[in-house]
Amino acid sequence: MLHRCLLLLCLSLLAACGTTIRNNVTNAPQAPVTAKQYVFTPITVSSTSQTDDAKRYNEELKTEAQTQLVTLVRSKKAVWVKAPAKAPTIVVTINANYGNRGIRLIPPIFRGRAGQALIAVDIQLRGPDGHILYATHTEGKLRKGVLGGDALNVAKRTVRDAFDDFGKRL
C-alpha cells in the first residue's frame, strides 16, 4: 500500500514537470485603486485550435475565470454595476494554444518547442473613460509531462494565478 502511495505521489510530481507560469505587470496604477463598484464585461476566451476538445476547454476556462473574477470582486467588498455607470471595468482576455499531447511525449531534443501548450491571460482595469489604469499579463507553458501532461490543468492554474496576482495589486 505504501509503495502505491509513493508511486502516485511521484507520478503527480512528474506531471507538473515542464510547467512554468510567469506574471508581469504591463501597466501599473499611479495610485491605489479603491473602487467599490465595477462594470461587468464578458470574459473572452479564444484558442488557435477549433476542435471539440478545445471548445470544451475554452468553456471550462471561461467558467474558471468567471468564478475567480467573482471571488476577487467579493474579496474587495465591491459590487457589479451595469455598463453606463461611471465605474472602472475589469476586462479579461484568455488566449490558449493547447498544443499536442502526442508530440509532447517526444523528448525535447528531437522536437524543440513543438507540441507545447501556451496559455496567456490578460487582465485590465479600465477607467470610466476607457483608459487602462492597471493591467497584468500571465503566461503558462506546458513543455512536457507524464503522458504528455495535462494542458487544461495548466490553463486553469494559469487563470487562478493570474487572478491571485491581479488581486494582490488591486
Model confidence, pTM? 0.78
Which parts of the chain fold into alpha helices (H)?
2-15, 52-75, 101-104, 108-111, 151-169
User: Residue 41: what pLDDT?
Assistant: 87
- Averaged pLDDT score across all residues of the chain: 79
> pLDDT of 14-63, one tens digit each?
444 566 777 777 777 666 677 888 888 899 999 988 888 889 999 999 99
CA–CA separation, 78 and 33 (whole Å):
12
Q: How confident is the model at residue 7 (pLDDT cuts 50, 70, 90)?
A: low
Identify the helix (H) or strand (E) that includes residue 95.
Answer: strand 89-97
User: Residue 109: what pLDDT?
Assistant: 55
CA–CA separation, 117 and 92 (whole Å):
20
Tell me if 69 sits within 8 A of 62, measured CB to CB: no
Cα 49 to chain center, whole Å?
A: 17
Residue 94 has pLDDT above 80, yes or no: yes
Identify the helix (H) or strand (E) that includes residue 22.
Answer: strand 19-27
Which of 35, 73, 61, 33 minimizes the C-alpha distance to 138?
Answer: 61
